[in-house]
Structure 1
């Protein structure tokens, strides 16, 4: 049975209808295949029927086995955007059903409230968050004041374009190419006006939110957990996104160099050391709105970014960037599990903002840029380093799960997650 319209689904307050809606909600808010399948199978078992769940980036297939009948459902979905608030609330509903703290009717009502709730942060906040993340990343990449300012301007423009392009399906498909083209042209224009040294830093920082580093990491994680089809699909999607952006960058570079020839490079005016840590905080503030986290969770988002970045930086200084990625992923994974144990809340609140600072999206961009410059050897070498960094992240996260503390449940009823 192919399911395209929720009005034709089983009623929301029935076990079957609830499981279908829970699976779609978890997928929509950014749950990886291995976690979604584990949680949905556990909920179905709790509700008294068997379930086979198969999750892909654009489809969920569920086969439900009851005593006297068997039903199959196919749900067509779009690759989910991370929404920390709704993801936490949907996970909380599933966990309370698992622990007998809520019946199906209550869970279905709360899930409807979650799915129908307006985004925590509006378009204006999201656009500004693009600029804040770009500004912070530019300083982390070693940019001076002019590069940080230029990157933030490009980030604002990319965020504005993201909002405008989402209103039409065709422009939505063209968004990565248009954003890359505009960012490349703006990089040369701002380099011409300010005389800053690196067009590359400005370009990669301005586009950092669009780079599919998290998609690559999740895809590798799905492959590592034997979700081969889903993992392969995610990696293919990331590769296509790089290609779409590469076309925009190639055209933008040609026109940018012709229209705005870069001036002789000036020496970088190094910013004080403390601005690097300030930039991590600024990027974390941007992630609060980008990931639709609640304001009360902002402290955890900022703390996660600081912990992940500092541990990865320390590890890199000891044994190189690959080891740094592993140490950073293991540390933030362990901290997120400790957060879940102590606070009785989903570990994604800290895990996602922390891991996003470690994902190898910029390395993929560097590989793409080298290939566009016809430096094939450097491009392939960087791509290989990107895959190694991604694997290091996945292994670090999986290893941190081995040492996770057992889940504890101290109180019945409605926890904090369900309240805005």
Structure 2
């Protein structure tokens, strides 16, 4: 291998690694995938990925050429469309149907590709997701409506954060602060008796880092200790910022508009729970930028995960039911990989978001600090811990029973 070829290879690998990091790929999957690509391209390589950095070391057979690259990166966000296209590109490269130069040019095209759903549909998806979550939590019809409307506030702040570093730094607390004040105003002038804390939680649920906590625990279980620890600590800080903003916003709202007297409404019918799972997953299609051809798989993964959990919970504790649900989800996602030759993450995340106890983590924090419960729940802290462990264990067992064919 001459020096010019080595330079071309290492530039491509570094660019590929940065893009996969940008799309929210977990450390153990990113490192395994890059190692596979480097081996095919005829170089030796070692990778260390964390939520905020990527270290790449590449060398030739006899160490004639060596290269080390360390990059400081921002934590990635899930982009299933770009992840799928990047995986297609890598598969074509490994199959020999694309040259390295063509693959490198295609990476540049994918990197600047906008969301396939546009800002309007994504905004509607934010509103639908927050309303569907309120429905899943057993809120009344009016509370579901207000959660959906305030979910648009979360979307507007998220859009602003993409163009302003200052807003991005304070996204979580300022969003929950504004939502808290507006929920109090709605209770004072438009709809007295609503459950303000539940509406605030539902309105910012997309920012609650339950999925990040689960990914961090998965990284720890795979011995990616630095990345897993960093991801968990980052998620905890996001949770603290969200709760503080909501606490301050509600307190300010009560000072401005007077305190709210919560009046419990009539419970929703049982079918509303299943409808909420469908609507939540449908909204996540746009939020996660899932490709059109993967939408049926994504929605099916949510029903597999939730339905299996509900069924298993009839015969065992709910926490163990989550283990069965995560196991079924893992098998389904890995089956998707075998059938379509696409990363299991593309559909697995949709099912996982239904199971992760991000909301319970927030509720437990609220109970610990204020002594008040958003919903009726006993031993919330123990439940959160056991559910997280059940999720990780279920996915590990699924990978043993139905091994995935792809590193991603």
- TM-score higher than 0.5 here? yes
Cα deviations by residue, 1:162-208 (Å, 9 ceiling, x for unpaired): 11232210111111111111122222233343234422321211111
**Unaligned ranges ≥5, structure 2:** none
Bigger mean CA deviation after superposition, 114-123 or 40-49: 114-123
Contact kept in structure 2, 1:128 and 1:159, CA below 8 Å = no
- 1:367 paired to 2:361: no
Contact kept in structure 1, 2:334 and 2:404, CA below 8 Å = no
Contact kept in structure 1, 2:254 and 2:260, CA below 8 Å = no
Q: Distance in 2 between matches of 1:277 and 1:246?
A: 28
Structure 1 residues 197 and 320 mapped into 2: Cα distance closer, same or farther (>3 Å)? farther
Structure 1 match to 2:192: 195
Q: Distance in 2 between matches of 1:244 and 1:12?
A: 45
Cα deviations by residue, 1:9-54 (Å, 9 ceiling, x for unpaired): x999921111111111111111100000011111111111111100
Structure 2 match to 1:236: 233
Q: TM-score, normalised by structure 1?
A: 0.88
Q: TM-score, normalised by structure 2?
A: 0.91
Q: Distance in 1 between matches of 2:387 and 2:106?
A: 39
SS in structure 2 at match of 1:51: strand
Structure 1 match to 2:154: 158
Q: Distance in 2 between matches of 1:389 and 1:21?
A: 36
Q: Distance in 2 between matches of 1:12 and 1:191?
A: 64
Contact kept in structure 1, 2:193 and 2:261, CA below 8 Å = no
Q: Distance in 1 between matches of 2:318 and 2:276?
A: 20
Contact kept in structure 2, 1:27 and 1:80, CA below 8 Å = yes
Contact kept in structure 1, 2:183 and 2:200, CA below 8 Å = yes
Structure 2 match to 1:395: 393
SS in structure 2 at match of 1:209: helix
Q: Distance in 2 between matches of 1:64 and 1:227?
A: 20
Contact kept in structure 1, 2:56 and 2:70, CA below 8 Å = yes
Structure 1 match to 2:182: 186
Bigger mean CA deviation after superposition, 216-225 or 42-51: 42-51
Structure 2 match to 1:415: none
1:121-200 equivalences under 5 Å are 121-192=117-188, 193-200=190-197
Q: Distance in 1 between matches of 2:173 and 2:404?
A: 45
Bigger mean CA deviation after superposition, 146-155 or 211-220: 146-155
Contact kept in structure 1, 2:172 and 2:241, CA below 8 Å = yes
Q: Distance in 2 between matches of 1:11 and 1:57?
A: 30
Q: Distance in 1 between matches of 2:310 and 2:205?
A: 19
Contact kept in structure 2, 1:12 and 1:18, CA below 8 Å = no
Note the C-alpha offset of 1:103: 3.3
Contact kept in structure 1, 2:6 and 2:65, CA below 8 Å = no
Note the C-alpha offset of 1:285: 1.8
Cα deviations by residue, 1:133-168 (Å, 9 ceiling, x for unpaired): 011111111111011111111111111121123221
SS in structure 2 at match of 1:73: strand
1:213-228 equivalences under 5 Å are 213-228=210-225
Contact kept in structure 1, 2:184 and 2:260, CA below 8 Å = no
Structure 2 match to 1:41: 35
Cα RMSD, aligned residues only = 2.4
Note the C-alpha offset of 1:109: 2.5
- 1:53 paired to 2:47: yes
Aligned residues: 398
Note the C-alpha offset of 1:405: 5.3
Bigger mean CA deviation after superposition, 356-365 or 116-125: 116-125
Note the C-alpha offset of 1:320: 2.8
Structure 1 residues 63 and 317 mapped into 2: Cα distance closer, same or farther (>3 Å)? same
Q: Distance in 2 between matches of 1:154 and 1:320?
A: 35
Bigger mean CA deviation after superposition, 292-301 or 85-94: 292-301
Structure 1 match to 2:325: 328
Structure 2 match to 1:309: 306
- 1:20 paired to 2:1: no
Structure 2 match to 1:382: 380
Structure 1 match to 2:273: 276
Bigger mean CA deviation after superposition, 265-274 or 210-219: 265-274
Q: Distance in 2 between matches of 1:98 and 1:384?
A: 46
- 1:30 paired to 2:24: yes
Note the C-alpha offset of 1:89: 1.4
Structure 1 residues 318 and 125 mapped into 2: Cα distance closer, same or farther (>3 Å)? same
